[in-house]
Amino acid sequence: MTRDKVVLAYSGGLDTSVAIRWLQDRGLDVVALTVDVGQPGSLGAIKEKAHRLGAKAYVVDARREFAEQYVLPALAANAMYEGQYPLSTALARPLIGKHLVAVAQREGASFIAHGCTGKGNDQVRFDLCTTALAPDLTVIAPAREWGMTREEEIAYAKERGIPVPVDDGSPYSTDENLWGRSIECGVLEDPRIEPPEEVYAWTTSPAAAPDEPGNVTVRFEGGKPTSLQGKPMDFVDLIATLSELAGRHGVGRIDHVESRVVGIKSREVYECPAATVLVKAHQALEALVLPRDVLEFQRIVASRYAGLVYDGLWFTPLREALDAFVSSTQDRVTGDVSVKLFKGTATVVGRASPYSLYDHALATYSQGDRFRQSMAEGFIYVWGLPARTWAAAGAKAPASTKLVKAAKRAK
């Protein structure tokens, strides 16, 4: 009899390594899938480890797909969860989920598995993604079921010859990809305490950052960053190069008490240097080329978009509809933005576009003013008509106002 197969999202870490054994102990053939979204570490070594644990192993390089199809639409939408978090972890989940489904279908597996606990957002994202793409597959989340503490897990691993990573003494749980790095647990669980320097890996402490500011110029074409410092670059390389550059200046540290999908407030720390710079630069360029009402509506869309990405609703009609709206606004989001990086801050200091709506002759208070100031009076007369009418109606009806007030007092 052939055994049922399960495709597991495999990071090579302790949780998912233990999960391989745990699933095998339940009579399943495990296929380990590692998706490269720009996390550090050797994928070859991860594959090797999966083999040693008796699993078939796949590694998929999805960096370009991640950048182009997940990060880019979120950047175009200026998506920041609760105004702060560029959704680095959240954006990678549906991509990994999509690859899990594809491998499950190729392998004829009936199950998908991930190493998420029952308290976080990532379980919601993986599960919903599977529901949307392949409702016939069943999701298993070993860490949601096994009820082991950290110590019990380590003991379980040692008993079964699963290598326990040497850095397992680290009290932090981290997740990394091209778009950012997430850190939680340990002392971070006390939101009153400043994150210790040791939690950071991508960014220099602002206090130790260079005393000379750094300048970056980003070119956007149709809403997409296409060159850095005047050099055309593939989007993946651009993000990686900018991460380095901005990280050196201490840019991109985020300390956030976050509202999780499951209702828990949690303290999360992020390092997202490239995302911080690119979202600011993109917004600055939009401010130059888009009309006020579109910008206003974009802000509503940005918040809704961030919410649905966070909530695991990537594969939904709403996300597709919002993408269509956002992309319809990006045609003219072309131009150059200069950003100054200095001791943890990124400040837009210049912007230019062939589609700029900025008209010096209209804006200037100096020579060459073409704005017809006398016309403003008539404009304000009409613009203020509702206010004038409202005030007049209030002044005209003292009796009824008195009646209403008397009735309120009588209650």
Is 153 or 268 the residue whose CB approaches ligand ARG more closely? 268
Based on the shown chain and the rule CB under 6 A, indicate whether residue 110 belongs to the binding site for ligand ARG: no
In the complex, the smallest distance separating the C-beta of residue 354 from ligand ARG, rounded to whole angstroms, is 37
In the complex, the smallest distance separating the C-beta of residue 69 from ligand ARG, rounded to whole angstroms, is 18
Catalytic residue selected from 29, 63, 88, 93: 93
Stretch of 135-143, 168-176, 212-220, 274-282 contacting ligand ARG, by CB under 6 A: 168-176
Stretch of 101-109, 129-137, 169-177, 200-208 contacting ligand ARG, by CB under 6 A: 169-177
In the complex, the smallest distance separating the C-beta of residue 252 from ligand ARG, rounded to whole angstroms, is 15
Based on the shown chain and the rule CB under 6 A, indicate whether residue 90 belongs to the binding site for ligand ARG: yes
Based on the shown chain and the rule CB under 6 A, indicate whether residue 11 belongs to the binding site for ligand ARG: no
Among 16, 39, 78, 121, interactor with ligand ARG by CB under 6 A: 121
Measured CA to CA, the distance from residue 121 to residue 304 in angstroms comes to 17
Among 34, 89, 177, 283, interactor with ligand ARG by CB under 6 A: 89
β-sheet bridge partners, residue 269: 183, 255
Active-site annotation holds for 122: yes
In the complex, the smallest distance separating the C-beta of residue 184 from ligand ARG, rounded to whole angstroms, is 5
Is 173 or 215 the residue whose CB approaches ligand ARG more closely? 173
Residue 182: which H helix or E strand, with range? strand 180-184
Site residues for ligand ARG, 236-275, by CB under 6 A, read 258, 268
Cβ pair 380, 389 in contact under 8 A: no
Active-site annotation holds for 15: yes
Is 29 or 184 the residue whose CB approaches ligand ARG more closely? 184
Active-site annotation holds for 173: yes
Cβ pair 178, 240 in contact under 8 A: yes
Is 130 or 177 the residue whose CB approaches ligand ARG more closely? 177
In the complex, the smallest distance separating the C-beta of residue 362 from ligand ARG, rounded to whole angstroms, is 43
Number of shown-chain residues binding ligand ARG (CB under 6 A): 10
Catalytic residue selected from 15, 29, 127, 175: 15
Catalytic residue selected from 21, 29, 122, 219: 122
Binding mask 172-201 for ligand ARG (x = CB under 6 A): -xxx------x-x-----------------
In the complex, the smallest distance separating the C-beta of residue 47 from ligand ARG, rounded to whole angstroms, is 21
Catalytic residue selected from 170, 173, 303, 338: 173
Pick from 90, 10, 8, 18: nearest CA to 43: 10
Could you give phi then psi for residue 319, rounded to 5 degrees? -60, -40
Q: What is the 3-state secondary structure (H, E, C) of the chain?
A: CCCCEEEEECCCCHHHHHHHHHHHHCCCEEEEEEEECCCCCCHHHHHHHHHHCCCEEEEEECHHHHHHHHHHHHHHCCCCECCCECCHHHHHHHHHHHHHHHHHHHHCCCEEECCCCCCCCHHHHHHHHHHHHCCCCEEECHHHHCCCCHHHHHHHHHHCCCCCCHHHHCCCEEEEECCEEEEECHHHHCCCCCCCHHHCCCCCCHHHCCCCCEEEEEEEECCEEEEECCEECCHHHHHHHHHHHHHHCCCCEEEEEEECCCCCEEEEEEECHHHHHHHHHHHHHHHHHCCHHHHHHHHHHHHHHHHHHHCCCCCCHHHHHHHHHHHHCCCCCCEEEEEEEECCEEEEEEEECCCCCCCHHHHCCCCCCCCCCCHHHHHHHHHCHHHHHHHHHHHHCHHHHHHHHHHHHHC
In the complex, the smallest distance separating the C-beta of residue 57 from ligand ARG, rounded to whole angstroms, is 21
Binding mask 30-69 for ligand ARG (x = CB under 6 A): ----------------------------------------
- What residues line the site for ligand ARG (CB under 6 A)? 89-90, 121, 173-175, 182, 184, 258, 268
Residues noted as catalytic: 15, 93, 122, 173
